Amino acid sequence: MKIRISFPLLLTAVLGLFAANSADAQKQEFPDVTVNGLHRVPDSKLAIVYAEPGADLSPYKRVQLLDAYVAFTKNWERDQRSRSATSFRINSKDIEKIKNSLAAEFQTVFKNALEEAGYQVTDETGEDVMIIRPAIINLDITAPDTPHVGRINSYTSSAGEMTLYIELYDSLTGDIIAQALDRRIDRSNAGFYTWTNSVTNRSAAQRILKGWANILVNALSEARTYGSQPEGDS
């Protein structure tokens, strides 16, 4: 396996390539080919997608889904503490709990979506195994609900936002097949202010994660179908 580079360091490099603000990713100019030979995929449902040209995904029947790396947006903890008007402020344990909960939710949502699409999720490597390496970055929860701060009602028009960065690898060679970046903002309140708590925050996260999972499995299914067609068929 060649997947040994530190993920935080890799994300720093990726964000430098894709630009720190992915909100206008579709409008920005990005290279047609990355340094590792991946080509940009036009008209994707995700903001930025690069893939190996002509990659055949039809042999992959199983998936090794790695744990999601989770990172808050820069200065999120400081900003939350400065906005708190109470003596009960968010602490490092709260932050780790939020990150672990989101990573666990990611694993559940994507595992279910992949299995429903016919993939077996495994811890093994093999010729038919693809590795999916995900990260949730720039996580910005507008009003986190913790045992400390949850006693005060918070009304917001959005639960927050987060950005998905995901990589696909061949499990035996470690060669990268594709990588993608996409930012999503919770729009469930449609501009109206509503009470935000742990339940509404989780529901917003699930909606975004399920949307990403559906995009992934649909893209994989299309790639598998295309790759399995006999040469000359369209």
- Domains of the chain by residue range: 7-227
**Does residue 61 carry a pLDDT above 50?**
yes
Task: Note the pLDDT of residue 110.
Answer: 97
- Model confidence at 50: pLDDT above 80: yes
Asked whether residue 74 carries a pLDDT value surpassing 90, the answer given is no
Q: Are 97 and 163 in contact (CB under 8 A)?
A: no
- Specify the pLDDT at position 87: 45
Q: Please tell me the predicted confidence (pLDDT) of residue 221.
A: 87
**Burial of 38 from C-beta contacts in 10 A (0-12 / 13-18 / 19+):** buried
Radius of gyration of the chain (CA): 19
| Cα–Cα distance measured from residue 80 to residue 75, given in angstroms and rounded to the nearest whole number | 9
Residue 42 has pLDDT above 50, yes or no: yes
How far is Cα of residue 97 from the mean position of the Cα atoms in its chain? 18
Number of other CB atoms surrounding residue 87 within 10 Å = 6
pLDDT at 22 over 90: no
Q: How many angstroms separate the CA atoms of 121 and 62, rounded?
A: 6
Mean predicted confidence (pLDDT) in 162-166: 93
Q: Is residue 117 pLDDT above 60, yes or no? A: yes
Cβ–Cβ < 8 Å for 50, 17: no
**Distance (Å, whole) CA 95 – CA 138:** 14
Residue 167 has pLDDT above 60, yes or no: yes
Given this model, what pLDDT does residue 234 score? 43
**pLDDT score recorded for residue 190:** 54
Mean of per-residue pLDDT scores for the chain: 78
Q: How confident is the model at residue 84 (pLDDT cuts 50, 70, 90)?
A: low
Higher pLDDT, 203 or 145: 203
Provide mean pLDDT across the span 143-148.
Answer: 63
pTM above 0.85, yes or no: no
